[in-house]
């Protein structure tokens, strides 16, 4: 695993920064690895959106 993947899995880097870092190194990455990075970014974005939706729902339920 590269540092981008490791940081994504550990939650030490935001998806925006991971994408930026991957684009900076795009010439060094093979297509398969780049696809894995993009998949990790996508999975993390979906997880973040779900967590935000859950927090919003919990906030709404706690005020009613």
Structural domains of the chain, count:
1
* Average of per-residue pLDDT across 35-40: 95
Instruction: Locate 5 and state its tokens.
Output: 């993947």
Give dist(CA 58, CA 8) in Å, integer.
Answer: 26
**Average pLDDT of the residues in 42-59:** 92
Q: What is the mean pLDDT of residues 30-45?
A: 95
The string of pLDDT tens digits covering residues 8-20 is 999 999 999 999 9
Q: pLDDT-based confidence at 64, cuts 50/70/90?
A: low
pTM: 0.79
Phi-psi region of 11 (alpha: psi -120 to 50; beta: other; left: phi over 0): left
Expressed as residue numbers, the domain containing 22 is 3-63
Q: How high is the pLDDT of residue 20?
A: 96
């Amino acid at each position: 695993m590269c540092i981008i993947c490791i940081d994504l899995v550990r939650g030490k880097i935001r998806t925006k920064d991971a994408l930026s870092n991957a684009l900076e190194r795009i010439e060094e990455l093979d297509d398969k690895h780049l696809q894995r990075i993009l998949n990790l970014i996508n999975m993390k974005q979906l997880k973040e959106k779900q967590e935000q939706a859950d927090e919003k729902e919990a906030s709404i339920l706690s005020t009613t």
